[in-house]
Structure 1
Amino acid sequence: MNDSFDRAPGAGRTRNLPADPGLAESAAGDCDTKTTLFNQREPLRQPRTSPPFAESNISTANVVGGGDFKRQSKPQQSINANSTSAFPGCNEVDSLVKSSKLSASAPEFVPSGINPYEDPSFYDDDDSYYGEPTLADTVTDFLAHLSSSPGSFESDIEHITGMLNSWVTTEELLKELVELIYTQSTAIPNFSYTGARLCNYLSHHLIVSPPSGNYRQLLLQRCRKEYEQRDVAVQGDPETQKKFHSFVLFLGELYLNLEIKKAKGPPNRANILLTALKDLLISLFSKPVDANLICAVKLLKLTGSVLDDAWKESGKPHMEELIQRIETILLDATCSRDVRQMLLKLVELRSSDWGRVRAAAAASNATPDNDPNYFMNEPTFYTEDGTPFTAADPEYAEKYQEILDRQDYFHDLDGENGNEIYDSEDEMEPEIEEAFENFCLEAERKRQQ
């Protein structure tokens, strides 16, 4: 009994083996093979590959049907733990395990192909990400803020200037700051006005002043580089012209906003920019294409009145010369209709003293003849055909009286309840009045019945 009972793991699993040709041949032929098979004591493992279903089904069918095992051309080999065909690749796995250098007590696991050594220079390019911001990043940020919120200029400019004073302490940093502000002022749309105000404030409040010049001097030197390229820029490609036009409008804003303080008296404008603007306008009119003419019109609308006054004070007829150039362009140049209309409007604007109204007469002495704002606050009325007229219209009184006569503005009001009293004769037409009387009589007759 003890010989046939085994407590080893997996024991007894071979007592009811399925019919298999290999096992049947071993049982019928060789006793030693049977002994080896039933003395197997190792636990069974899942094979790496499953046997073909077709071959297994045929073998099982032959055993159940009592067929001849010898008819099979390739009988399956017996299931043996030492057989390499039953577990293909087993020897290779064992050899890999024996030659492996992996250890469960290793401090960390590093996959093959990974270099555990990290090159410190790999992170050099990311210093701007994780390190302190540069001057260019800081200037770009606060210029973007002023561009999106120009109304915060007065409240933020002191903080911005204090930050720049603590940062810009050398000549190189000051030149970099000038270049950054100039580039952004001519690149950001509609930022030339705010950029000019910023340049004026920094020219008075930046502390650093190297031997090469202070902020204002370095800024004017930077503008001079673009000014000297004016004759080439007006004849360049569209992109070159666009950059040049941005510079021209920025210089116009700079002339209006940049102040040069004196020891006594109010500050003056930079007269050197006055001459530069005249030369820039002449260059724009020398190449009368649409883009150049539009830029010239914008500049004259922006600075025309100031330039005209400055040239008149100095006795120079520069504005008359520019207007004559415009009139010549209107006659000869082949500009578009819209640009031609813009030039005509500009000439009319200058003839009306740039749309300015001189000091109005005193209120007591104001008349329609000496005060153009005399009728400014008067209401506007319209005739029956929709024609507007105001108190400045010579026929105002007559037309206004016609309106009063046509409309019934004079009503007799009841002093107690304010209800209007109308004449009964005009309330209903005869047909309506007759129908109403018939209705009342019919209603009274039905009531009496």
Structure 2
Amino acid sequence: MTENFDRAPGAGRARMKPTSPGLADVGDGDAKFVFNQREPLRQPRTSPPLTENITNSIEVIGADSRTPSKPHQQGIDKRTPASQEKNLDSLVKTSILSVNAAEFYPSSFHTYQEPVSEDISCGYGHEPSLAELVEEFLSHLNASPGSFETEIEYIANMLNSWVTTEETLQELVELIYTQSTAIPNFSYTGARLCNFLSHNLTFNSPSGNFRQLLLKRCQTEYEQRDVAVTGDQATQKRFHAYVLFLGELYLRLELKSAKGPPSRAEILLTALGELMNSLFSHPEDGNLICAVKLLKLTGSVLEDAWKERRKSDMDQLVKRIKNIVVDAKCSRDVKQMLLQLLELRSSNWGRVHAAAAAEATPDNDPNYFMNEPTFYTADGTPFTAADPDYSEKYQEILDREDDYFPEDCEENGNESSFYDEDEMDPEIEEAFEKFCLESERKRRQ
């Protein structure tokens, strides 16, 4: 069987012509069997007509200008129909490509851009809002209250450029009030800021200027005093912050007068008296502590103002405090604070008159030598300027100093005569020599 088997590639599968002698011995049936075993021939791959190539190339260019055309699509037959030529002309007219372009960028190419820093102070990034600007100013003043005098004019100029409508003025008042009552220990600086803006903010709305709108905002909180003193802890905390801010505002806010010196707002004097009545009407620890802080802050000024108007409001408040100390169920620490407040008021709020201070002598003032330094004798006995032998003992100290410091000591403090610069302690000299030798060895390495 293997003798007639041809191992050559394609052996026995070559196409033979019908007239081939090799088929002479094969029958018709066998010949049909041989040809039926082969697969049918495929249709030849012929190129499409030239007109179809041109149409496809136009569609390809319109779809994506970056796709290179095939070699057989680059040529245009002179026998192109007129409709195809019109399509080519319209394509050239509507194309956005230019042969004069310096560089070509694909549509998917993105140029790198430096990230933009949103530094407000340098003018980059988005423009800050009024709320951000005020918050930045107040945070700066809260962190550096000593810079108020140097920064306040700049702050006022910036706010004058922003506040040009009634809405921005209302927003400014609300922002300053909120921050002054929310930031701990900022009520003093906030009141100073309000006083400066009340005189230097140029815009005035039909509903009022900065000071009038600020007082209206404070009145809104004042009307809720009876509800706030009995509210929850958060409500009382906000109300206490408002009371202390109003006290600072009464001390700092100045009303200019054409006839005399600036005066304080009369309406705030009345409001503070009513607020303290509300606090003492509900003698809880938080309310009493707030009232004590307010009276320590404004007690002397309030009493002077009421005395000028021949009112006894301070005496009435003192009576209420005494009754609270006796009857109220507050903590012992709060009662101690109230007793200290009464003692402070009995001493005229700690004020010392200038005339009494000028007439003070060692005989009539036991604290005359309170701030004098304390000296010590040779045996360690302390003495001050109040000691009868002060002059003699102090002279002894001066004599000891003269004995200790020689006369050849220079006045500029140069005591080179005490020490010989050429002499050195043996241990220090030995350590210094070791250091020099070790340094030299390391340098040579």
Q: TM-score, normalised by structure 2?
A: 0.59
Answer yes or no: is 1:196 the counterpart of 2:191. Answer: yes
1:320 Cα shift? Answer: 1.1
Q: Distance in 2 between matches of 1:215 and 1:29?
A: 120
Q: 1:104 to 1:258 in 2, by over 3 A?
A: same
Q: Which of the numbers 102, 105, 119 marks the counterpart of 2:67?
A: 105
Q: Distance in 2 between matches of 1:269 and 1:380?
A: 45
Answer yes or no: is 1:35 the counterpart of 2:35. Answer: no
Answer yes or no: is 1:215 the counterpart of 2:210. Answer: yes
2:154 aligned partner, one-letter code: H
CA deviation vs aligned residue, 1:37-71 (integer Å, no higher than 9, x gap): 9x9xxxxxxxxxxxxxxxxxxxxxxxxxxxxxxxx
| 1:61-100 correspondence to structure 2 within 5 Å | none
Corresponding residue for residue 287 of structure 2: 292
Q: 1:321 to 1:109 in 2, by over 3 A?
A: same
Q: Distance in 2 between matches of 1:332 and 1:342?
A: 15
Q: Distance in 1 between matches of 2:134 and 2:350?
A: 38
Q: Distance in 2 between matches of 1:293 and 1:388?
A: 45
Q: Distance in 2 between matches of 1:305 and 1:369?
A: 30
Q: Distance in 2 between matches of 1:417 and 1:154?
A: 51
Corresponding residue for residue 428 of structure 1: none
CA deviation vs aligned residue, 1:389-412 (integer Å, no higher than 9, x gap): 9777xxx659x99xx8xx99999x
Corresponding residue for residue 369 of structure 2: 375
Q: 1:204 to 1:109 in 2, by over 3 A?
A: closer
Q: Distance in 2 between matches of 1:343 and 1:183?
A: 30
1:209 Cα shift? Answer: 1.1
1:375 Cα shift? Answer: 2.6
Corresponding residue for residue 327 of structure 2: 332
| 1:5-20 correspondence to structure 2 within 5 Å | none
1:341 Cα shift? Answer: 1.3
Count of equivalent residues: 301
Q: Distance in 1 between matches of 2:321 and 2:328?
A: 10
Corresponding residue for residue 255 of structure 1: 250
| 1:2-401 correspondence to structure 2 within 5 Å | 35=9, 105=67, 107-108=106-107, 130-361=125-356, 365-368=359-362, 374-380=368-374
1:303 Cα shift? Answer: 0.6
1:378 aligned partner, one-letter code: E
Q: 1:31 to 1:317 in 2, by over 3 A?
A: farther
Q: Is the 8 A contact 1:360 1:371 kept in 2?
A: no
Q: Distance in 2 between matches of 1:186 and 1:329?
A: 28
Task: List alignment gaps of at least 5 residues for structure 2.
Answer: 14-62, 69-105, 110-123, 408-445
Q: Is the 8 A contact 1:360 1:373 kept in 2?
A: no
CA deviation vs aligned residue, 1:383-437 (integer Å, no higher than 9, x gap): xxx9999777xxx659x99xx8xx99999x989989xxxxxxxxxxxxxxxxxxx
Q: Distance in 2 between matches of 1:317 and 1:254?
A: 23
Q: Distance in 2 between matches of 1:387 and 1:323?
A: 48
1:264 Cα shift? Answer: 2.1
Q: Distance in 2 between matches of 1:261 and 1:157?
A: 19
1:367 Cα shift? Answer: 2.4
Q: CA RMSD in A?
A: 3.9
Q: Distance in 1 between matches of 2:210 and 2:404?
A: 78
* SS of equivalent residue, structure 2 residue 9: helix
2:173 aligned partner, one-letter code: V
Task: List alignment gaps of at least 5 residues for structure 1.
Answer: 1-27, 40-100, 111-128, 419-449
Q: 1:414 to 1:264 in 2, by over 3 A?
A: closer
Q: Distance in 2 between matches of 1:351 and 1:30?
A: 141
Q: 1:416 to 1:217 in 2, by over 3 A?
A: closer
Q: 1:187 to 1:321 in 2, by over 3 A?
A: same
1:150 Cα shift? Answer: 0.9
Q: Distance in 2 between matches of 1:258 and 1:29?
A: 127
Report percent identity of matched pairs. 67
Moved more, 340-349 or 352-361: 352-361
1:193 aligned partner, one-letter code: Y
CA deviation vs aligned residue, 1:333-355 (integer Å, no higher than 9, x gap): 12112211111111111111111
Q: Distance in 1 between matches of 2:185 and 2:248?
A: 11
1:369 Cα shift? Answer: 5.8
CA deviation vs aligned residue, 1:126-150 (integer Å, no higher than 9, x gap): xxx9432111111111111111111
